[in-house]
Amino acid sequence: MSIDTLLKSGATDRNSCPTSERLVDCIIAAGNVDFDEDTMFTAKTFLADTLAVGVAGTANPASEKLFDAVSRWNETGDCRILGRPGVRMSAQSAALINGFQIHCLEWDALHEPSVVIALCTTTAALVSEAEYTAASLDDIVKALVIGVETAVFFGAGATTEPRFFRPSAAGLMGASMALGYLRGYSRLQMLDLLGLAYSQVAGTMQAHWEGSEALPLQIGLAARSALTAADLVAASISGPHDVIDGKFGYYRLIEQVDSLDAQFEQWAQPWKVKEVAHKPFPAGRATQATLTAIMDVGHSEQLDLDMIETITVHVPSLILLLVGRPYDRDMSPAYARLCLQFIAPMMIREGRIDPRRFTAGIMNSEQVAADARKVTIILDGNPDPNALSPQRIEILFKDGRRIERVIDVPFGSPDFPMSRTDQLAKAAFCFEVAEFADKSGALFDKIFKSARDVPMKDVLDIVSGSREPRV
């Protein structure tokens, strides 16, 4: 292609970035408004949930392997790790581990319309940032709202199923804007930050497809990259600006979209954190509709897996992609958390999903293999490549009885929310799984009952241990 052709296409107009400027202006404008009480309340709820889940992540053996690897880097710093009292690391290393721990049990919250697990990357980055600033809890919560909103912007509107892992790719963009907002960066700095974050976007769906431990690692790496981008901006390093819909922009290479107008029209209408769904159960969100159906049936029927002939789940294509993977006796815990053939029988037999039960001795047992053979996942013909619902579950009993449930709204969604009692019970279970003293009540009390200007560091004392110097 000649330079004349390129010029006619407008591709070399490197000084024009109207879409990036429009997004940055939305973020800066948020700094001049007061978030409504409902938005702040919801964001605090999900902050508490995300921190508790991050504590639980220490129970994953892969978290210990990552911790050992990062410890060998001999980096020093003042940033704490969720669920690991006495540990101090650099901001980037702490964000890497915290991001991994938050996502590694598949227990963290999801914005379903955009299929973005929207809090993990931003929270991990903000936990490190809070250690070096005087940021209050409310400051962090506002930054979290911005991070979620931006991550959803980069995940919503896609016309194809995910190819890159949206929680890390879109999450990095959200985390970087949250940091820039918290640091009070100028318009030009925010544009540079957007570009430097985009320059580090990584993490594809291949890790998800294979059920690899690299999946939560991509979250940690994205959180680390957001901090790196913010620090580079502070050092006056510039980044590309036309990174949203430019010639090689996010919505050219990472996702495809017909128009970005809808995303801008929906900015803060409402704030997207209010559309986020809890994961009541530590398994992929795509399993939660089936788990909700099992929970619902269990309220009226005495479910006994030995009396069940088959369980058939009719799902959209994205659900099949995410959790329709076949049971494998040699599967890893990361694979098992995304395997509906393993998750559904566990829910029936045990009444819950316990991360401590994802061991080789259990996963490859004859009983589990037989249970998995009872579950069949079938495409339902839904044409939406990003649909998570509805899902139809049929349970056929050996005596000929048949029970069917259609789940359009899984438990934990905004239209079927967890109660505060449910939220506290989940947090308590997170601490139990981590063998960490139950501080669920203290965590929620600190977040919801403290003065508006309570330091975020006081919250981290509960989930990471005291700030007292290491002995």
What does pTM read for this prediction? Answer: 0.94
Q: What is the mean pLDDT of the chain?
A: 94
Q: If 0-12 CB within 10 Å is exposed, 13-18 middle and 19+ buried, where does residue 302 land?
A: exposed
In contact, 188 and 233? CB cutoff 8 Å: no
SS (H, E, C) the chain: CCHHHHHHHCCCCCCCCHHHHHHHHHHHHHCCCCCCHHHHHHHHHHHHHHHHHHHHHHHCHHHHHHHHHHHCCCCCCCEEECCEEEEEECHHHHHHHHHHHHHCCCCCCEEHHHCECCCHHHHHHHHHHHHCCCCEHHHHHHHHHHHHHHHHHHHCCECCCCCECHHHHHHHHHHHHHHHHHHCCCHHHHHHHHHHHHCCCCCECHHHHHCCCHHHHHHHHHHHHHHHHHHHHHCCCCCCCCCCCCCCCHHHHCCCECCCHHHHHCCCCCCHHHHEECCCCCCCHHHHHHHHHHHHHHCCCCCCHHHEEEEEEEECHHHHHHHECCCCCCCCHHHHCCEHHHHHHHHHHHCCCCHHHCCHHHHCCHHHHHHHCCEEEEECCCCCCCCCCCEEEEEEECCCCEEEEEECCCCCCCCCCCCHHHHHHHHHHHHHHCCCCCCHHHHHHHHHHCCCCCEHHHHHHHHHCCCCCCC
Q: What is the pLDDT of residue 9?
A: 45
Distance of alpha carbon 79 from its chain centroid, rounded?
A: 21
pLDDT digits (tens, 9 = 90+) for 49-94: 999 999 999 999 999 999 999 999 999 999 999 999 999 999 999 9
Q: Which residue's structure tokens are 């981008």?
A: 229
Average pLDDT of the residues in 348-370: 97
Q: How far is CA 55 from CA 174, 188, 400, 464, in A?
A: 22, 37, 45, 8
Instruction: Please check whether residue 126 is in contact with residue 178, taking contact to mean a CB–CB distance below 8 angstroms.
Output: yes
Compute how many other C-beta atoms are within 10 angstroms of the C-beta atom of residue 140.
Answer: 26
Residues 217 and 231: their CA atoms lie apart, in Å, by 21
Mean of pLDDT values over 141-164: 94
Nearest to 85 by CA among 437, 428, 441: 437
- Residue 31 is predicted with a pLDDT of 83
pLDDT score, position 2: 41
Strands 79-81 and 84-89: what pairing? antiparallel
pLDDT in tens, 417-430: 999 999 999 999 99
Quick: pLDDT tens for 192-249: 999 999 999 999 999 999 999 999 999 999 999 999 999 999 999 999 999 999 999 9
**Amino acid 8: pLDDT:** 46
Q: pLDDT category, 471, cuts 50, 70, 90?
A: very low
